Chains A and B, each alone.
Chain A
Protein backbone atom coordinates (compact mmCIF):
# COMPACT_ATOMS: atom_id res chain seq x y z
CA UNK A 1 0.00 0.00 0.00
CA UNK A 2 1.28 3.37 -0.90
CA UNK A 3 0.52 6.83 -2.11
CA UNK A 4 1.11 7.82 -5.71
CA UNK A 5 2.26 11.30 -6.65
CA UNK A 6 2.34 12.76 -10.12
CA UNK A 7 4.20 16.01 -10.50
CA UNK A 8 3.75 17.87 -13.73
CA UNK A 9 3.73 14.70 -15.78
CA UNK A 10 3.90 15.15 -19.53
CA UNK A 11 3.86 12.71 -22.40
CA UNK A 12 5.17 13.73 -25.78
CA UNK A 13 5.19 11.16 -28.55
CA UNK A 14 7.71 11.21 -31.37
CA UNK A 15 6.63 13.78 -33.92
CA UNK A 16 5.83 16.26 -31.16
CA UNK A 17 2.38 14.93 -30.44
CA UNK A 18 1.60 15.81 -26.86
CA UNK A 19 -0.75 13.32 -25.25
CA UNK A 20 -0.56 14.60 -21.68
CA UNK A 21 -0.04 18.29 -21.04
CA UNK A 22 1.27 18.31 -17.50
CA UNK A 23 -0.77 16.54 -14.85
CA UNK A 24 -0.43 17.04 -11.11
CA UNK A 25 -2.18 14.50 -8.96
CA UNK A 26 -1.69 13.09 -5.48
CA UNK A 27 -3.34 9.83 -4.66
CA UNK A 28 -3.50 9.03 -0.97
CA UNK A 29 -2.76 5.63 0.49
CA UNK A 30 -5.78 3.36 0.09
CA UNK A 31 -7.66 5.77 -2.08
CA UNK A 32 -9.52 4.81 -5.25
CA UNK A 33 -9.08 7.40 -7.95
CA UNK A 34 -10.97 7.11 -11.21
CA UNK A 35 -9.66 8.74 -14.37
CA UNK A 36 -12.57 9.45 -16.65
CA UNK A 37 -12.88 11.15 -19.99
CA UNK A 38 -13.78 10.58 -23.61
CA UNK A 39 -11.60 8.31 -25.71
CA UNK A 40 -8.32 9.88 -26.67
CA UNK A 41 -8.21 12.16 -23.64
CA UNK A 42 -4.99 10.57 -22.38
CA UNK A 43 -6.41 8.72 -19.40
CA UNK A 44 -5.08 5.33 -20.48
CA UNK A 45 -1.72 6.84 -21.37
CA UNK A 46 -1.51 8.34 -17.91
CA UNK A 47 -2.33 4.99 -16.31
CA UNK A 48 0.25 3.23 -18.45
CA UNK A 49 2.82 5.79 -17.40
CA UNK A 50 2.08 5.02 -13.77
CA UNK A 51 2.42 1.32 -14.60
CA UNK A 52 5.72 1.90 -16.35
CA UNK A 53 4.52 0.68 -19.73
CA UNK A 54 5.01 4.13 -21.22
CA UNK A 55 7.97 6.39 -20.58
CA UNK A 56 7.49 9.72 -18.86
CA UNK A 57 8.56 12.63 -21.08
CA UNK A 58 8.63 15.22 -18.33
CA UNK A 59 7.83 15.44 -14.65
CA UNK A 60 8.02 12.72 -12.04
CA UNK A 61 5.89 9.85 -10.87
CA UNK A 62 6.54 8.55 -7.39
CA UNK A 63 5.05 5.56 -5.65
CA UNK A 64 5.36 5.49 -1.86
CA UNK A 65 7.76 8.40 -2.04
CA UNK A 66 10.18 6.80 -4.51
CA UNK A 67 10.55 8.33 -7.93
CA UNK A 68 9.85 5.46 -10.32
CA UNK A 69 10.32 7.16 -13.70
CA UNK A 70 13.17 4.86 -14.64
CA UNK A 71 11.87 1.69 -13.05
CA UNK A 72 10.53 -1.35 -14.86
CA UNK A 73 6.84 -2.17 -14.22
CA UNK A 74 7.82 -5.15 -12.09
CA UNK A 75 10.04 -3.03 -9.84
CA UNK A 76 7.22 -0.60 -9.18
CA UNK A 77 5.28 -3.32 -7.40
CA UNK A 78 1.96 -2.52 -9.01
CA UNK A 79 -0.60 -4.86 -10.49
CA UNK A 80 -2.63 -4.14 -13.57
CA UNK A 81 -5.96 -5.40 -14.82
CA UNK A 82 -6.35 -5.07 -18.57
CA UNK A 83 -9.43 -4.49 -20.66
CA UNK A 84 -9.00 -7.77 -22.55
CA UNK A 85 -7.84 -9.49 -19.34
CA UNK A 86 -4.50 -10.52 -20.92
CA UNK A 87 -4.57 -13.92 -19.23
CA UNK A 88 -1.87 -16.30 -20.39
CA UNK A 89 -3.90 -18.63 -22.63
CA UNK A 90 -1.68 -21.68 -22.28
CA UNK A 91 -1.64 -21.66 -18.49
CA UNK A 92 -4.34 -22.84 -16.13
CA UNK A 93 -6.04 -20.30 -13.91
CA UNK A 94 -3.82 -21.42 -11.04
CA UNK A 95 -0.66 -20.96 -13.11
CA UNK A 96 -1.89 -17.54 -14.19
CA UNK A 97 -2.24 -16.51 -10.57
CA UNK A 98 1.09 -18.04 -9.59
CA UNK A 99 3.16 -16.62 -12.41
CA UNK A 100 3.90 -13.20 -10.94
CA UNK A 101 4.69 -14.66 -7.53
CA UNK A 102 7.01 -17.30 -8.98
CA UNK A 103 8.92 -14.64 -10.88
CA UNK A 104 9.45 -12.83 -7.61
CA UNK A 105 10.80 -15.92 -5.93
CA UNK A 106 7.98 -16.25 -3.41
CA UNK A 107 8.28 -19.53 -1.46
CA UNK A 108 6.07 -22.32 -2.78
CA UNK A 109 3.89 -22.74 0.30
CA UNK A 110 3.21 -19.03 0.47
CA UNK A 111 2.25 -19.02 -3.19
CA UNK A 112 -0.17 -21.85 -2.49
CA UNK A 113 -1.83 -20.11 0.41
CA UNK A 114 -2.06 -16.75 -1.38
CA UNK A 115 -3.58 -18.32 -4.49
CA UNK A 116 -6.06 -20.22 -2.35
CA UNK A 117 -7.02 -17.03 -0.54
CA UNK A 118 -7.41 -14.96 -3.69
CA UNK A 119 -9.44 -17.74 -5.29
CA UNK A 120 -11.68 -17.86 -2.24
CA UNK A 121 -12.24 -14.10 -2.18
CA UNK A 122 -13.09 -14.03 -5.88
CA UNK A 123 -14.98 -17.34 -5.82
CA UNK A 124 -12.91 -18.86 -8.60
CA UNK A 125 -11.73 -21.92 -6.65
CA UNK A 126 -13.72 -24.35 -8.86
CA UNK A 127 -11.98 -23.08 -12.01
CA UNK A 128 -8.41 -23.14 -10.75
CA UNK A 129 -7.40 -25.98 -13.06
CA UNK A 130 -9.19 -24.76 -16.15
CA UNK A 131 -7.73 -22.77 -19.00
CA UNK A 132 -8.87 -19.17 -19.56
CA UNK A 133 -10.46 -20.28 -22.86
CA UNK A 134 -12.92 -22.44 -20.94
CA UNK A 135 -14.15 -19.53 -18.81
CA UNK A 136 -16.85 -16.96 -19.46
CA UNK A 137 -16.07 -13.26 -19.70
CA UNK A 138 -17.03 -12.56 -16.11
CA UNK A 139 -14.95 -15.45 -14.82
CA UNK A 140 -11.94 -14.31 -16.84
CA UNK A 141 -12.38 -10.87 -15.35
CA UNK A 142 -12.26 -12.39 -11.88
CA UNK A 143 -9.11 -14.29 -12.74
CA UNK A 144 -7.52 -11.10 -14.03
CA UNK A 145 -8.35 -9.46 -10.70
CA UNK A 146 -7.09 -12.50 -8.86
CA UNK A 147 -3.80 -12.16 -10.64
CA UNK A 148 -3.62 -8.63 -9.28
CA UNK A 149 -4.57 -9.35 -5.69
CA UNK A 150 -2.37 -12.40 -5.08
CA UNK A 151 0.62 -10.17 -5.55
CA UNK A 152 -0.43 -7.84 -2.71
CA UNK A 153 1.01 -4.92 -4.66
CA UNK A 154 1.37 -1.31 -3.62
CA UNK A 155 -1.32 -0.29 -6.09
CA UNK A 156 -3.93 -1.69 -8.45
CA UNK A 157 -4.20 -0.17 -11.88
CA UNK A 158 -7.41 -0.90 -13.78
CA UNK A 159 -7.52 -0.15 -17.49
CA UNK A 160 -11.21 -0.16 -18.46
CA UNK A 161 -11.60 -3.63 -16.95
CA UNK A 162 -15.34 -3.88 -17.42
CA UNK A 163 -15.84 -2.65 -20.95
CA UNK A 164 -15.76 -6.15 -22.46
CA UNK A 165 -18.61 -7.36 -20.26
CA UNK A 166 -22.33 -7.12 -20.90
CA UNK A 167 -24.30 -4.48 -19.07
CA UNK A 168 -25.67 -6.69 -16.31
CA UNK A 169 -22.34 -8.29 -15.49
CA UNK A 170 -20.66 -4.91 -15.62
CA UNK A 171 -22.96 -3.68 -12.87
CA UNK A 172 -22.21 -6.72 -10.72
CA UNK A 173 -18.47 -6.57 -11.22
CA UNK A 174 -18.47 -2.85 -10.49
CA UNK A 175 -19.92 -3.50 -7.09
CA UNK A 176 -17.46 -6.32 -6.51
CA UNK A 177 -14.47 -4.24 -7.45
CA UNK A 178 -15.64 -1.53 -5.08
CA UNK A 179 -16.18 -3.99 -2.25
CA UNK A 180 -12.84 -5.64 -2.86
CA UNK A 181 -11.00 -2.36 -2.94
CA UNK A 182 -12.72 -1.23 0.25
CA UNK A 183 -11.79 -4.39 2.10
CA UNK A 184 -8.20 -4.56 0.87
CA UNK A 185 -7.63 -0.82 1.19
CA UNK A 186 -5.16 -0.90 -1.67
CA UNK A 187 -4.44 2.32 -3.52
CA UNK A 188 -6.15 2.05 -6.89
CA UNK A 189 -6.25 3.95 -10.13
CA UNK A 190 -9.13 3.08 -12.40
CA UNK A 191 -9.58 4.23 -15.96
CA UNK A 192 -12.97 4.30 -17.63
CA UNK A 193 -14.93 6.24 -20.18
CA UNK A 194 -18.21 5.33 -18.50
CA UNK A 195 -19.23 8.19 -16.25
CA UNK A 196 -21.65 6.03 -14.24
CA UNK A 197 -18.84 3.59 -13.45
CA UNK A 198 -16.65 6.54 -12.54
CA UNK A 199 -19.25 8.12 -10.23
CA UNK A 200 -19.98 4.92 -8.35
CA UNK A 201 -16.44 3.65 -7.92
CA UNK A 202 -14.43 6.71 -7.14
CA UNK A 203 -13.29 8.16 -3.87
CA UNK A 204 -12.05 10.92 -6.07
CA UNK A 205 -12.74 11.58 -9.69
CA UNK A 206 -10.26 12.98 -12.18
CA UNK A 207 -12.05 14.23 -15.28
CA UNK A 208 -9.69 14.51 -18.23
CA UNK A 209 -10.05 15.99 -21.67
CA UNK A 210 -7.50 16.51 -24.41
CA UNK A 211 -4.56 15.54 -22.23
CA UNK A 212 -5.51 17.99 -19.49
CA UNK A 213 -7.14 17.51 -16.13
CA UNK A 214 -10.45 19.36 -16.15
CA UNK A 215 -11.41 18.76 -12.55
CA UNK A 216 -10.40 16.68 -9.56
CA UNK A 217 -12.84 16.08 -6.76
CA UNK A 218 -15.20 13.68 -5.07
CA UNK A 219 -17.96 12.39 -7.35
CA UNK A 220 -20.57 14.53 -5.60
CA UNK A 221 -18.38 17.64 -5.83
CA UNK A 222 -17.84 17.10 -9.50
CA UNK A 223 -21.53 16.48 -10.04
CA UNK A 224 -22.74 19.36 -7.91
CA UNK A 225 -20.18 21.92 -8.95
CA UNK A 226 -18.64 21.08 -12.32
CA UNK A 227 -15.64 23.35 -12.77
CA UNK A 228 -15.76 23.58 -16.53
CA UNK A 229 -18.22 23.36 -19.37
CA UNK A 230 -16.65 20.08 -20.42
CA UNK A 231 -17.20 18.47 -17.03
CA UNK A 232 -20.73 19.82 -16.90
CA UNK A 233 -21.52 18.21 -20.22
CA UNK A 234 -19.68 14.95 -19.52
CA UNK A 235 -20.80 13.96 -16.04
CA UNK A 236 -24.46 13.14 -15.54
CA UNK A 237 -26.96 11.33 -17.69
CA UNK A 238 -28.80 12.81 -19.43
CA UNK A 239 -26.14 15.54 -19.49
CA UNK A 240 -26.55 19.00 -18.07
CA UNK A 241 -28.36 21.50 -20.28
CA UNK A 242 -25.98 24.29 -21.24
CA UNK A 243 -28.03 27.23 -22.36
CA UNK A 244 -26.52 30.41 -23.82
CA UNK A 245 -27.94 33.45 -22.07
CA UNK A 246 -28.82 34.98 -25.43
CA UNK A 247 -31.30 32.24 -26.16
CA UNK A 248 -33.23 32.73 -22.94
CA UNK A 249 -36.04 35.21 -22.66
CA UNK A 250 -37.02 36.71 -19.37
CA UNK A 251 -35.37 38.69 -16.67
CA UNK A 252 -32.05 37.19 -15.66
CA UNK A 253 -30.75 40.19 -13.78
CA UNK A 254 -32.63 39.02 -10.72
CA UNK A 255 -30.35 36.03 -10.37
CA UNK A 256 -27.19 37.99 -9.84
CA UNK A 257 -25.15 35.93 -12.24
CA UNK A 258 -21.43 36.68 -11.83
CA UNK A 259 -19.53 38.90 -14.21
CA UNK A 260 -18.66 37.24 -17.50
CA UNK A 261 -21.36 34.59 -17.39
CA UNK A 262 -22.79 33.84 -20.78
CA UNK A 263 -23.86 30.22 -20.40
CA UNK A 264 -26.05 28.76 -17.74
CA UNK A 265 -26.04 25.06 -16.95
CA UNK A 266 -29.08 23.36 -15.48
CA UNK A 267 -29.33 19.63 -14.69
CA UNK A 268 -32.34 17.96 -16.34
CA UNK A 269 -33.75 16.80 -13.01
CA UNK A 270 -33.76 20.31 -11.53
CA UNK A 271 -36.53 21.48 -13.81
CA UNK A 272 -40.10 21.36 -12.63
CA UNK A 273 -43.36 21.97 -14.41
CA UNK A 274 -44.89 23.86 -11.47
CA UNK A 275 -43.52 27.09 -10.09
CA UNK A 276 -41.52 26.24 -7.00
CA UNK A 277 -41.76 28.29 -3.84
CA UNK A 278 -38.18 29.55 -4.02
CA UNK A 279 -37.09 32.14 -6.58
CA UNK A 280 -36.87 30.45 -9.93
CA UNK A 281 -36.22 30.86 -13.61
CA UNK A 282 -39.21 30.52 -15.85
CA UNK A 283 -38.82 29.42 -19.45
CA UNK A 284 -41.42 28.83 -22.12
CA UNK A 285 -40.93 25.91 -24.39
CA UNK A 286 -42.50 23.58 -26.91
CA UNK A 287 -42.57 19.87 -26.19
CA UNK A 288 -40.76 18.02 -28.95
CA UNK A 289 -40.64 14.51 -27.60
CA UNK A 290 -41.60 12.63 -24.47
CA UNK A 291 -39.36 9.67 -23.69
CA UNK A 292 -40.60 7.44 -20.88
CA UNK A 293 -37.65 5.54 -19.43
CA UNK A 294 -39.46 3.73 -16.63
CA UNK A 295 -39.53 5.51 -13.30
CA UNK A 296 -39.00 8.87 -14.92
CA UNK A 297 -39.55 10.51 -18.25
CA UNK A 298 -37.26 12.59 -20.38
CA UNK A 299 -38.90 15.55 -21.95
CA UNK A 300 -37.15 17.05 -24.95
CA UNK A 301 -38.26 20.64 -25.37
CA UNK A 302 -37.33 23.51 -27.65
CA UNK A 303 -37.13 26.95 -26.06
CA UNK A 304 -39.60 29.43 -27.45
CA UNK A 305 -37.92 32.16 -29.49
CA UNK A 306 -34.47 30.58 -29.85
CA UNK A 307 -35.38 26.95 -30.45
CA UNK A 308 -32.54 25.80 -28.18
CA UNK A 309 -33.20 22.17 -27.20
CA UNK A 310 -33.23 21.08 -23.57
CA UNK A 311 -33.74 17.77 -21.87
CA UNK A 312 -35.80 17.69 -18.73
CA UNK A 313 -36.26 14.66 -16.61
CA UNK A 314 -39.42 14.51 -14.54
CA UNK A 315 -40.61 11.77 -12.25
CA UNK A 316 -43.41 9.47 -13.33
CA UNK A 317 -45.17 9.48 -16.69
CA UNK A 318 -46.85 12.81 -17.26
CA UNK A 319 -49.52 13.07 -19.93
CA UNK A 320 -48.07 15.69 -22.22
CA UNK A 321 -48.81 15.72 -25.90
CA UNK A 322 -46.12 16.62 -28.39
CA UNK A 323 -46.02 20.22 -29.61
CA UNK A 324 -47.84 21.60 -26.58
CA UNK A 325 -46.54 24.78 -25.08
CA UNK A 326 -45.46 24.54 -21.48
CA UNK A 327 -43.66 26.60 -18.93
CA UNK A 328 -40.70 25.09 -17.11
CA UNK A 329 -39.08 26.30 -13.95
CA UNK A 330 -35.61 25.91 -12.51
CA UNK A 331 -34.79 27.13 -9.01
CA UNK A 332 -32.13 29.83 -8.79
CA UNK A 333 -29.92 27.56 -6.73
CA UNK A 334 -29.74 25.08 -9.61
CA UNK A 335 -28.10 27.48 -12.03
CA UNK A 336 -24.47 26.86 -12.87
CA UNK A 337 -22.92 29.96 -14.38
CA UNK A 338 -20.17 29.45 -16.99
CA UNK A 339 -18.20 31.59 -19.37
CA UNK A 340 -18.08 30.31 -22.93
CA UNK A 341 -14.79 32.09 -23.48
CA UNK A 342 -12.77 30.48 -20.71
CA UNK A 343 -14.93 27.39 -20.52
CA UNK A 344 -14.89 27.70 -16.75
CA UNK A 345 -17.33 28.43 -13.95
CA UNK A 346 -17.72 32.10 -13.22
CA UNK A 347 -18.64 31.81 -9.53
CA UNK A 348 -15.11 30.66 -8.85
CA UNK A 349 -14.48 28.22 -6.06
Chain B
Protein backbone atom coordinates (compact mmCIF):
# COMPACT_ATOMS: atom_id res chain seq x y z
CA UNK B 1 0.00 0.00 0.00
CA UNK B 2 1.61 3.16 -1.16
CA UNK B 3 -1.17 5.46 -0.05
CA UNK B 4 -1.36 6.51 3.54
CA UNK B 5 -5.02 6.65 4.42
CA UNK B 6 -6.07 6.53 8.07
CA UNK B 7 -8.94 4.17 7.35
CA UNK B 8 -6.63 1.69 5.63
CA UNK B 9 -4.18 1.88 8.49
CA UNK B 10 -7.03 1.20 10.90
CA UNK B 11 -8.31 -1.72 8.82
CA UNK B 12 -4.93 -3.37 8.39
CA UNK B 13 -4.30 -3.12 12.10
CA UNK B 14 -7.72 -4.50 12.88
CA UNK B 15 -7.10 -7.56 10.73
CA UNK B 16 -3.63 -7.96 12.14
CA UNK B 17 -4.83 -7.72 15.74
CA UNK B 18 -7.69 -10.13 15.09
CA UNK B 19 -5.17 -12.60 13.67
CA UNK B 20 -2.90 -12.26 16.65
CA UNK B 21 -5.77 -12.66 19.10
CA UNK B 22 -7.04 -15.78 17.37
CA UNK B 23 -3.60 -17.36 17.48
CA UNK B 24 -2.59 -16.21 20.93
CA UNK B 25 -5.84 -16.56 22.87
CA UNK B 26 -5.76 -20.36 23.32
CA UNK B 27 -2.16 -20.14 24.46
CA UNK B 28 -3.09 -17.38 26.87
CA UNK B 29 -5.98 -19.44 28.15
CA UNK B 30 -3.67 -22.39 28.71
CA UNK B 31 -1.35 -20.20 30.71
CA UNK B 32 -4.24 -18.76 32.79
CA UNK B 33 -5.58 -22.23 33.48
CA UNK B 34 -2.16 -23.35 34.68
CA UNK B 35 -2.21 -20.68 37.38
CA UNK B 36 -5.53 -21.56 38.99
CA UNK B 37 -6.59 -24.11 41.55
CA UNK B 38 -8.07 -27.42 40.36
CA UNK B 39 -11.70 -27.10 39.40
CA UNK B 40 -11.65 -23.36 38.73
CA UNK B 41 -11.32 -23.96 35.05
CA UNK B 42 -14.32 -26.21 34.74
CA UNK B 43 -16.56 -24.32 37.17
CA UNK B 44 -18.54 -22.88 34.28
CA UNK B 45 -16.96 -19.45 34.14
CA UNK B 46 -13.55 -19.56 32.53
CA UNK B 47 -11.24 -17.16 34.37
CA UNK B 48 -9.39 -14.68 32.18
CA UNK B 49 -6.90 -13.36 34.72
CA UNK B 50 -3.98 -15.24 36.27
CA UNK B 51 -4.72 -17.06 39.50
CA UNK B 52 -2.53 -17.41 42.62
CA UNK B 53 -1.33 -21.01 42.11
CA UNK B 54 1.32 -20.57 39.44
CA UNK B 55 4.40 -21.73 41.34
CA UNK B 56 2.54 -24.50 43.12
CA UNK B 57 1.08 -25.99 39.93
CA UNK B 58 4.32 -25.84 37.99
CA UNK B 59 6.42 -27.32 40.74
CA UNK B 60 3.91 -30.18 41.17
CA UNK B 61 3.94 -31.09 37.51
CA UNK B 62 7.69 -30.55 37.20
CA UNK B 63 8.74 -32.60 40.19
CA UNK B 64 5.99 -35.11 40.85
CA UNK B 65 4.06 -35.61 37.68
CA UNK B 66 0.61 -37.09 37.83
CA UNK B 67 0.74 -40.52 39.35
CA UNK B 68 -3.00 -41.01 38.91
CA UNK B 69 -2.47 -40.96 35.13
CA UNK B 70 0.71 -42.98 35.31
CA UNK B 71 2.74 -40.02 34.10
CA UNK B 72 6.27 -39.39 35.42
CA UNK B 73 7.48 -35.92 36.48
CA UNK B 74 7.45 -33.67 33.46
CA UNK B 75 11.18 -33.03 33.58
CA UNK B 76 11.74 -36.71 32.71
CA UNK B 77 9.47 -36.44 29.72
CA UNK B 78 10.99 -33.14 28.65
CA UNK B 79 14.43 -34.65 28.85
CA UNK B 80 13.31 -37.61 26.73
CA UNK B 81 11.79 -35.27 24.18
CA UNK B 82 14.91 -33.18 24.15
CA UNK B 83 17.15 -36.19 23.57
CA UNK B 84 14.88 -37.44 20.85
CA UNK B 85 14.45 -34.10 19.10
CA UNK B 86 18.14 -33.21 19.16
CA UNK B 87 19.25 -36.66 18.09
CA UNK B 88 16.76 -36.68 15.23
CA UNK B 89 17.68 -33.17 14.09
CA UNK B 90 21.43 -33.72 14.30
CA UNK B 91 21.21 -37.21 12.84
CA UNK B 92 19.07 -36.13 9.94
CA UNK B 93 21.40 -33.25 9.15
CA UNK B 94 24.56 -35.35 9.28
CA UNK B 95 23.11 -38.16 7.20
CA UNK B 96 21.54 -35.88 4.62
CA UNK B 97 24.67 -33.77 4.28
CA UNK B 98 26.78 -36.84 3.62
CA UNK B 99 24.36 -38.49 1.24
CA UNK B 100 23.78 -35.25 -0.67
CA UNK B 101 27.55 -34.82 -0.90
CA UNK B 102 27.90 -38.31 -2.32
CA UNK B 103 25.12 -37.77 -4.83
CA UNK B 104 26.36 -34.41 -6.07
CA UNK B 105 30.13 -34.70 -6.02
CA UNK B 106 30.93 -38.33 -6.73
CA UNK B 107 30.34 -40.31 -9.87
CA UNK B 108 29.41 -43.90 -9.18
CA UNK B 109 27.13 -46.43 -10.82
CA UNK B 110 23.45 -46.16 -9.91
CA UNK B 111 23.96 -42.69 -8.52
CA UNK B 112 20.85 -41.38 -10.19
CA UNK B 113 18.86 -44.39 -9.06
CA UNK B 114 19.98 -43.80 -5.47
CA UNK B 115 18.87 -40.20 -5.73
CA UNK B 116 15.47 -41.11 -7.09
CA UNK B 117 14.91 -43.76 -4.45
CA UNK B 118 15.65 -41.18 -1.78
CA UNK B 119 13.52 -38.63 -3.55
CA UNK B 120 10.52 -40.94 -3.86
CA UNK B 121 10.53 -41.69 -0.14
CA UNK B 122 9.80 -37.98 0.32
CA UNK B 123 6.25 -38.87 -0.53
CA UNK B 124 5.93 -41.55 2.15
CA UNK B 125 5.04 -40.17 5.57
CA UNK B 126 6.00 -42.14 8.67
CA UNK B 127 2.44 -43.35 9.11
CA UNK B 128 2.50 -45.31 5.85
CA UNK B 129 5.38 -47.51 6.91
CA UNK B 130 4.59 -47.48 10.60
CA UNK B 131 3.60 -51.13 10.99
CA UNK B 132 6.62 -52.68 9.27
CA UNK B 133 8.83 -50.17 11.03
CA UNK B 134 7.32 -51.12 14.37
CA UNK B 135 7.88 -54.78 13.59
CA UNK B 136 11.53 -54.17 12.79
CA UNK B 137 12.08 -52.07 15.90
CA UNK B 138 10.32 -54.61 18.07
CA UNK B 139 12.33 -57.51 16.63
CA UNK B 140 15.52 -55.63 17.26
CA UNK B 141 14.48 -55.26 20.90
CA UNK B 142 14.46 -51.50 20.73
CA UNK B 143 11.06 -50.88 22.27
CA UNK B 144 11.32 -48.61 25.29
CA UNK B 145 14.71 -47.23 24.38
CA UNK B 146 16.14 -44.05 22.92
CA UNK B 147 17.36 -45.98 19.86
CA UNK B 148 13.81 -47.10 19.21
CA UNK B 149 12.55 -43.56 19.46
CA UNK B 150 15.27 -42.07 17.28
CA UNK B 151 16.51 -44.51 14.62
CA UNK B 152 13.38 -44.93 12.51
CA UNK B 153 13.11 -41.17 12.14
CA UNK B 154 16.75 -40.36 11.63
CA UNK B 155 16.98 -40.25 7.84
CA UNK B 156 15.36 -37.47 5.90
CA UNK B 157 14.67 -37.40 2.21
CA UNK B 158 13.59 -33.78 2.37
CA UNK B 159 16.84 -32.63 3.95
CA UNK B 160 18.88 -34.71 1.50
CA UNK B 161 17.01 -33.12 -1.34
CA UNK B 162 17.50 -29.61 0.07
CA UNK B 163 21.22 -30.09 0.53
CA UNK B 164 21.51 -31.58 -2.94
CA UNK B 165 19.86 -28.51 -4.40
CA UNK B 166 22.17 -26.28 -2.41
CA UNK B 167 25.30 -28.17 -3.41
CA UNK B 168 24.29 -27.91 -7.06
CA UNK B 169 24.39 -24.14 -6.77
CA UNK B 170 27.95 -24.12 -5.44
CA UNK B 171 30.20 -23.42 -8.43
CA UNK B 172 32.30 -26.38 -9.60
CA UNK B 173 35.33 -24.13 -9.74
CA UNK B 174 35.31 -23.97 -5.96
CA UNK B 175 35.80 -27.71 -5.78
CA UNK B 176 38.44 -27.55 -8.49
CA UNK B 177 40.27 -24.72 -6.73
CA UNK B 178 40.24 -26.79 -3.55
CA UNK B 179 41.63 -29.80 -5.42
CA UNK B 180 44.43 -27.67 -6.83
CA UNK B 181 45.00 -26.35 -3.32
CA UNK B 182 45.54 -29.87 -2.10
CA UNK B 183 42.24 -30.54 -0.36
CA UNK B 184 40.97 -34.10 -0.62
CA UNK B 185 37.25 -34.93 -0.74
CA UNK B 186 36.71 -34.88 3.03
CA UNK B 187 38.80 -31.78 3.50
CA UNK B 188 36.84 -29.97 0.82
CA UNK B 189 33.66 -31.07 2.55
CA UNK B 190 34.82 -29.88 5.94
CA UNK B 191 36.64 -26.69 4.98
CA UNK B 192 34.53 -25.37 2.13
CA UNK B 193 31.17 -27.04 1.77
CA UNK B 194 30.22 -27.23 5.43
CA UNK B 195 30.89 -23.56 6.22
CA UNK B 196 28.96 -22.57 3.10
CA UNK B 197 26.00 -24.68 4.22
CA UNK B 198 26.00 -23.08 7.67
CA UNK B 199 22.81 -21.08 7.27
CA UNK B 200 21.01 -23.95 5.55
CA UNK B 201 21.98 -26.24 8.39
CA UNK B 202 20.65 -23.78 10.95
CA UNK B 203 17.35 -23.41 9.12
CA UNK B 204 16.98 -27.15 8.84
CA UNK B 205 17.89 -27.64 12.47
CA UNK B 206 14.99 -25.46 13.54
CA UNK B 207 12.54 -27.30 11.34
CA UNK B 208 13.83 -30.75 12.24
CA UNK B 209 14.05 -30.04 15.97
CA UNK B 210 10.39 -29.07 16.00
CA UNK B 211 9.55 -32.08 13.85
CA UNK B 212 11.26 -34.32 16.40
CA UNK B 213 9.73 -32.57 19.36
CA UNK B 214 6.13 -32.85 18.17
CA UNK B 215 6.34 -36.54 17.24
CA UNK B 216 3.29 -38.13 18.79
CA UNK B 217 2.34 -41.37 17.13
CA UNK B 218 5.72 -43.02 17.02
CA UNK B 219 6.64 -42.51 20.70
CA UNK B 220 3.15 -43.65 21.60
CA UNK B 221 3.77 -46.93 19.78
CA UNK B 222 7.26 -47.82 20.92
CA UNK B 223 7.13 -46.77 24.56
CA UNK B 224 5.01 -48.12 27.35
CA UNK B 225 7.58 -47.66 30.08
CA UNK B 226 6.96 -44.27 31.63
CA UNK B 227 10.71 -43.62 31.84
CA UNK B 228 10.75 -43.21 28.05
CA UNK B 229 7.61 -41.11 27.61
CA UNK B 230 8.04 -37.99 25.57
CA UNK B 231 6.26 -34.84 26.60
CA UNK B 232 3.88 -34.50 23.67
CA UNK B 233 2.46 -37.99 24.13
CA UNK B 234 2.68 -37.55 27.90
CA UNK B 235 0.22 -34.66 27.76
CA UNK B 236 -2.32 -36.98 26.24
CA UNK B 237 -1.81 -39.32 29.16
CA UNK B 238 -2.16 -36.50 31.67
CA UNK B 239 -5.45 -35.45 30.15
CA UNK B 240 -6.87 -38.94 29.98
CA UNK B 241 -8.23 -39.80 33.34
CA UNK B 242 -10.92 -42.36 33.95
CA UNK B 243 -14.07 -41.33 35.78
CA UNK B 244 -12.78 -37.97 37.00
CA UNK B 245 -12.34 -34.54 35.54
CA UNK B 246 -8.87 -34.14 34.10
CA UNK B 247 -6.67 -31.97 36.31
CA UNK B 248 -6.67 -29.17 33.80
CA UNK B 249 -4.48 -26.85 35.82
CA UNK B 250 -1.65 -29.39 35.75
CA UNK B 251 -2.27 -30.46 32.16
CA UNK B 252 -2.09 -26.85 31.06
CA UNK B 253 1.10 -26.30 33.02
CA UNK B 254 2.59 -29.26 31.14
CA UNK B 255 1.36 -27.82 27.85
CA UNK B 256 3.04 -24.50 28.53
CA UNK B 257 6.28 -26.21 29.51
CA UNK B 258 6.19 -28.47 26.44
CA UNK B 259 5.82 -25.43 24.26
CA UNK B 260 8.86 -23.68 25.60
CA UNK B 261 11.80 -25.51 23.95
CA UNK B 262 10.58 -25.14 20.35
CA UNK B 263 9.83 -21.49 21.03
CA UNK B 264 13.30 -20.97 22.44
CA UNK B 265 14.91 -22.72 19.48
CA UNK B 266 13.00 -20.53 17.08
CA UNK B 267 13.80 -17.36 19.01
CA UNK B 268 17.50 -18.05 19.29
CA UNK B 269 17.99 -19.39 15.79
CA UNK B 270 15.56 -17.08 14.09
CA UNK B 271 18.23 -14.87 12.58
CA UNK B 272 20.12 -17.78 11.05
CA UNK B 273 16.85 -19.44 10.11
CA UNK B 274 15.64 -16.49 8.06
CA UNK B 275 19.09 -16.06 6.55
CA UNK B 276 19.14 -19.71 5.55
CA UNK B 277 15.83 -19.45 3.79
CA UNK B 278 16.47 -16.14 2.08
CA UNK B 279 20.15 -15.68 1.51
CA UNK B 280 22.31 -17.50 -0.96
CA UNK B 281 25.88 -16.90 -0.02
CA UNK B 282 28.28 -18.08 -2.63
Residues on A lying within 8 angstroms of B by beta carbon are 51-53, 72-74, 78-80, 82-84, 86-90, 99-100, 103-104, 133, 147
Contacts and interface: CB of A to CB of B under 8 A. Distances in A.
Q: Which 8 A-B residue pairings sit nearest by Cβ, starting from the closest?
A: A86-B173, A74-B182, A100-B181, A103-B182, A86-B177, A90-B195, A82-B173, A73-B180
A52 B183 CA distance: 14
Given A82-B173, A84-B173, A89 B281 contact: yes
A89 B282 contact: yes
30 contacts: A53-B180, A72-B179, A73-B179, A74-B179, A74-B181, A74-B182, A74-B183, A80-B180, A82-B173, A82-B177, A84-B171, A84-B173, A86-B171, A86-B173, A86-B176, A87-B177, A88-B174, A88-B192, A89-B196, A89-B281, A90-B192, A90-B196, A90-B198, A90-B281, A99-B181, A99-B183, A99-B191, A103-B183, A103-B187, A147-B177
A80 B176 contact: yes
Contacts of B174: 86, 88
Contacts of B195: 90
A104 B184 CA distance: 11
Interface string B162-188: 000000000101101111111100010
Contacts of B192: 88, 90
Contacts of A84: 171, 173
B187 A79 contact: no
A275 B192 CA distance: 67
A133 B280 CA distance: 12
B196 A82 contact: no
Interface of B: 171, 173-174, 176-183, 187, 191-192, 195-196, 198, 281-282
A78 B176 CA distance: 12
Nearest to B195: A90
Given A83-B173, A103-B182, 8 more contacts: A52-B179, A53-B180, A73-B180, A74-B179, A90-B198, A99-B178, A99-B183, A104-B182
A84 B196 CA distance: 17
Contacts of A104: 182
Contacts of A90: 192, 195-196, 198, 281
Contacts of A72: 179
B179 A100 contact: no
A113 B187 CA distance: 25
A78 B180 contact: yes
